[in-house]
A = this chain, B = another copy of it.
Amino acid sequence: MIRVTVWNEFWHETRHEAVKAVYPEGIHAVIADALRKEPDLEVRTATLDEPEHGLTDDVLESTDVLTWWGHMAHDQVSDEIVKKVQHRVLCGMGLLVLHSGHFAKIFRTLMGTRCSLKWREAGEKERLWNVEPGHPITQGIGEYFELPAVEMYGERFDIPHPDETLFISWFEGGEVFRSGCTWRRGHGKIFYFRPGHETFPIYYDANVQRVLVNAVRWAAPVCIVPYPGAPNWAPLEPIQEKLNPYGKAGVVQDIE
């Protein structure tokens, strides 16, 4: 059983009628429903306005894979929670970052870069090419799939070179984008997936849902590795100690 927590900012849906019309229960509800159809996934949701954004220690420690959608309130996510989520990813929790989550604090923190891109809301066609048809995340997707009306994201996407590039998008307006990318950070697996928006009904799309289900399974950890700290480690072989004028007083300063 893979334990999934679907996180959503859930502000657009409570503030804008146009968004509520598309996602009356919130984006998280639609994503969670799609995942709940799978018998091996145990799914709950969490949102920004809950205490600790719904990401208490208990929740994080019982989450195998976290999905993240945010947009207008990235700066409302507390740095302390971001640090806890980062810690959990580094120990092995999988993370799926969706669409406008490219600017989420947790994604930037794990990438070390700005994660900026070009964008345009014009309702144009997108075709996502499946560059790695043998990968677990792309199973069930053909050579490509199309979304009829989307917000465009264009390169340069300011990310570290991905470990794997699974999808590359073609946009009607003339741009391209690395739309499905994976990285490992610590012991956690990270997948960024471009599709999504608050008014275009992307998360109802069957191909998008298929990729999300596949990605959850791919990102699930085989084990959780506790943080070992920076141990002062005894030698495993006999050594000839040479004089160290500073003595043994030195201590590695771990700032966390």
User: Which A residues fall within an 8 A CB radius of B?
Assistant: 16, 18-19, 21-22, 71-75, 86, 90, 92, 100, 103, 105, 109-114, 116-125, 127, 129-136, 139, 143, 148-149, 151-152, 154-158, 160-161, 163-165, 168-176, 178, 183-188, 198-200, 221-223, 225, 227-237, 239-248, 250-256
Contacts and interface: CB of A to CB of B under 8 A. Distances in A.
A74 B119 contact: no
Number of copies of this protein chain within its complex: 4
How would you classify the secondary structure of chain A's contact residues: helix, strand, loop or mixed? loop
A139 B222 contact: yes
Contacts of A198: 246, 250
B230 A103 contact: yes
Contacts of A178: 168
A1 B243 CA distance: 40
B252 A124 contact: no
Contacts of A187: 132-134
Contact of A172 (B73, B168, B239): B239
Contacts of A109: 112
Contacts of A113: 90, 185-186
Contacts of A225: 133-134
